[in-house]
């Protein structure tokens, strides 16, 4: 058996098949997109055209703050798309990878997107639109780990990454303070819809097929796409969806949240940098620990998001959308890296678990915990139970709901770097994008130094699976449906396809609520 190809080898193969010539020198002559709004110039290199910082909506500044996104301003001549610096207002986090070293970002002119596309003139490529995570209050499409080069080359695809409003600016319901702002709690979601509308209108000019759009979301991005699946006719937005470490369970069941700052005059006039700084200080008091990760986000408002995503899927309202979804094995261990040391950090995360546990199941908690403690320490058992409740089990329930109508595919990412905290939340991202950049993944960079070939091989397998799904709707493993419950396990030891992995732990849980009970999570 021949050894697995590395990412560089896959790139060379893809370039050869696409008829592209890789060159170390920029070739911008062919990187001109003739969109309905006008010409946009990108930068060419190594067989790709890259367009950065294209506005898909008007800057939400001044009177537009807290209002739905508006059309982008027109331009004359050729728009130069080479601005990769935009970060929506937020306080810097060590778990993100920013384009510069600012501690606080305050520029509201951030509703922009980036496009990667092969140089060759071939059109009708599958389109992959990525919605980043970050607790709906941090992160940016301009992180280097989200670069679309490998997905575009290996998958012969058009890749788009988008910014959207975060924190209080994108996800706080202000209708109680001003009726004109009713619905502002889902403006981050409306930004994402505006970006998807831009893609549908313009992506053909970049070689993409507007009828074959796959939206990929991770963490808060996956919560958002889950909410979009619960809107009216979600197939108008995309043909396929990938949910990485996020499901409808973490879509707020009621409009909100209320702003952590209750002064409307301050909210509407305060400089954005000051606003997000004050937001973070307030969250430290009202949503401590891991609860701050779920304070902001999309909500069921009855107008845009019509019901909980699981219910909408079960009723067949997204029957025109193919679905691939999954989780990492040790999701919540991610938060252990922010403690004084790993052991203390993990213990603090475990202590948060009771606040998230469903009230309706409290009399079953000891019984469920006993299943997890069969081969784990008490802390590890609590962490595994926590990860399953908020991530793995809800993903399974969404897969069950959608599998009634469409082929649906489930995975679990199990690779754990030696000396790290496990297969933590976000650990799959460096592999899906082929960037192998491990910010926020303890032990990841050291593992890459120790065995780059194995990590490149795993990344190559995942890149091929994600782009195959975007192209055809089939990632090349059997679809999920009871009773077999076929699941793809991703690890450097080789991807396995298992039926109903960790069945005893899945069966330990009675029915979960459709959504996290936010009152039990510090709200």
- Reported as a single tens digit per residue, the pLDDT across 191-228 is 999 999 999 999 999 999 999 999 999 999 999 999 99
Sign, CA torsion 462/297/239/215: negative
Question: How far is Cα 217 from Cα 223, in angstroms, rounded to an integer?
Answer: 8
The single residue listed with the structure tokens 């973070």 is: 280
CA distances from 415 to 67, 329, 330 (A): 42, 8, 10
Is 331 an active-site residue?
yes
Predicted pLDDT of residue 1: 42
For the stretch 37-82, pLDDT in tens is 999 999 998 999 999 999 999 999 999 999 999 999 999 999 999 9
pLDDT exceeds 90 at position 261: no
Predicted pLDDT of residue 120: 81
Predicted pLDDT of residue 258: 77
Catalytic residue among 96, 108, 218, 331: 331
For the stretch 327-339, pLDDT in tens is 999 999 999 999 8
Least confident of 26-30, 105-109, 233-237, 446-450: 26-30
Cβ atoms of 443 and 163 closer than 8 Å:
no
For the stretch 2-19, pLDDT in tens is 444 444 444 343 433 333
Cβ count within 10 A of residue 173 = 23
Planar angle of CA 405, 408, 410, nearest 5 degrees = 150
Cβ atoms of 110 and 56 closer than 8 Å:
no
For the ranges 17-21, 22-26, 284-288, 416-420, the one whose mean pLDDT is highest: 416-420
Span 89-101, mean pLDDT? 97
Predicted pLDDT of residue 27: 58
Predicted pLDDT of residue 240: 98
Span 352-364, mean pLDDT? 94
Predicted pLDDT of residue 470: 98
Predicted pLDDT of residue 257: 76
Predicted pLDDT of residue 443: 97
Question: How far is Cα 139 from Cα 113, in angstroms, rounded to an integer?
Answer: 14
Predicted pLDDT of residue 161: 99
Distance of CA 354 to the CA centre of its chain: 26
If pLDDT is split at 50, 70 and 90, which confidence band does 321 have? very high
- Measured in degrees and rounded to the nearest 5, phi and psi for residue 243 equal -110, 110
Catalytic residue among 219, 226, 247, 479: 219
Which residues are bridge partners to 263 per DSSP? none
- Mean per-residue pLDDT of the chain: 93
Span 494-498, mean pLDDT? 87
Catalytic residue among 132, 252, 317, 425: 425
Predicted pLDDT of residue 456: 98
Residues of the chain above pLDDT 70, percent: 93
Cβ atoms of 114 and 50 closer than 8 Å:
yes
For the stretch 394-415, pLDDT in tens is 999 999 999 999 999 999 999 9
pLDDT exceeds 80 at position 476: yes
If pLDDT is split at 50, 70 and 90, which confidence band does 30 have? confident
Architecture field, domain 7-521: 3-Layer(aba) Sandwich (3.40)
Question: How far is Cα 144 from Cα 435, in angstroms, rounded to an integer?
Answer: 8
Q: Beta strands 496-499 and 322-328: pairing type?
A: unpaired
Predicted pLDDT of residue 518: 59
Cβ count within 10 A of residue 86 = 21
**Nearest partner of 258 among 178, 341, 347, 153, judged by Cα:** 178
Question: How far is Cα 388 from Cα 382, in angstroms, rounded to an integer?
Answer: 10
Domain locations in the chain as residue ranges:
7-521
Is 317 an active-site residue?
no
Predicted pLDDT of residue 93: 97
């Amino acid at each position: 058996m021949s050894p697995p190809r590395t990412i560089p080898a896959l790139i060379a193969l893809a370039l050869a098949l696409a008829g592209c010539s890789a060159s170390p020198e920029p070739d911008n002559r062919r990187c001109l997109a003739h969109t309905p709004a006008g010409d946009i110039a990108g930068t060419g290199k190594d067989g790709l055209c890259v367009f950065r910082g294209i506005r898909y909506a008007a800057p939400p500044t001044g009177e537009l703050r807290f209002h739905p996104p508006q059309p982008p301003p027109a331009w004359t001549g050729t728009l130069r798309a080479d601005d990769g610096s935009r970060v929506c207002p937020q306080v810097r986090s060590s778990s993100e990878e920013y384009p510069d070293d600012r501690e606080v970002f305050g520029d509201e002119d951030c509703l922009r997107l980036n496009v990667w596309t092969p140089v060759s003139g071939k059109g009708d490529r599958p389109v992959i639109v990525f919605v980043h995570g970050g607790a709906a209050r941090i992160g940016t499409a301009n992180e280097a780990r989200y670069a679309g080069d490998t997905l575009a080359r290996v998958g012969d695809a058009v890749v788009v990454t988008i910014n959207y409003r975060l924190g209080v600016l994108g996800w706080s319901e202000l209708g109680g303070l001003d009726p004109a702002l009713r619905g502002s709690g889902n403006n981050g979601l409306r930004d994402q819809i505006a970006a998807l509308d831009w893609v549908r209108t313009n992506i053909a000019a970049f070689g993409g097929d507007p009828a074959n759009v796959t939206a990929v979301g991770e963490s808060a991005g996956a919560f958002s796409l889950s909410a979009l699946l619960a809107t009216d006719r979600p197939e108008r937005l995309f043909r396929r969806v990938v949910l990485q470490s996020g499901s409808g369970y973490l879509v707020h069941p009621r409009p909100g949240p209320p702003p952590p700052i209750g002064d409307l005059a301050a909210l509407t006039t305060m400089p954005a940098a000051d606003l997000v700084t004050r937001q973070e200080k307030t969250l430290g008091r009202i949503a401590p620990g891991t609860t701050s990760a779920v304070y902001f986000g999309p909500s069921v408002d009855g107008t845009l998001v019509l019901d909980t995503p699981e219910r909408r899927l079960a009723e067949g309202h997204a029957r025109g959308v193919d679905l691939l979804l999954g989780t990492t094995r040790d999701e919540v261990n991610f938060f252990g890296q922010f403690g004084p040391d790993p052991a203390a950090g993990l213990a603090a995360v475990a202590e948060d678990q009771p606040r998230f546990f469903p009230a309706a199941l409290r009399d079953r908690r000891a019984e469920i915990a006993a299943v997890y403690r069969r081969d784990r320490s008490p802390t590890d058992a609590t962490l595994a139970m926590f990860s399953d409740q908020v991530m793995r089990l809800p993903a399974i329930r969404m897969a069950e709901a959608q599998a009634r109508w469409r082929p649906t595919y489930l995975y679990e990412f199990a690779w754990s770097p030696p000396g790290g905290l496990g297969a933590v939340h976000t650990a799959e991202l460096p592999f899906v994008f082929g960037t192998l950049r491990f910010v926020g993944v303890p032990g990841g960079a050291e593992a890459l130094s120790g065995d780059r070939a194995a990590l490149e091989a795993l990344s190559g397998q995942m890149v091929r699976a994600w782009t195959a799904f975007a192209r055809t709707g089939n990632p090349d493993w059997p679809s999920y449906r009871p009773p077999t419950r076929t699941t793809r396990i991703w690890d450097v030891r080789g991807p396995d396809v298992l039926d109903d992995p960790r069945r005893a732990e899945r069966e330990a849980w009675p029915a979960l609520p459709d959504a996290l009970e936010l009152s039990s999570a510090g709200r």
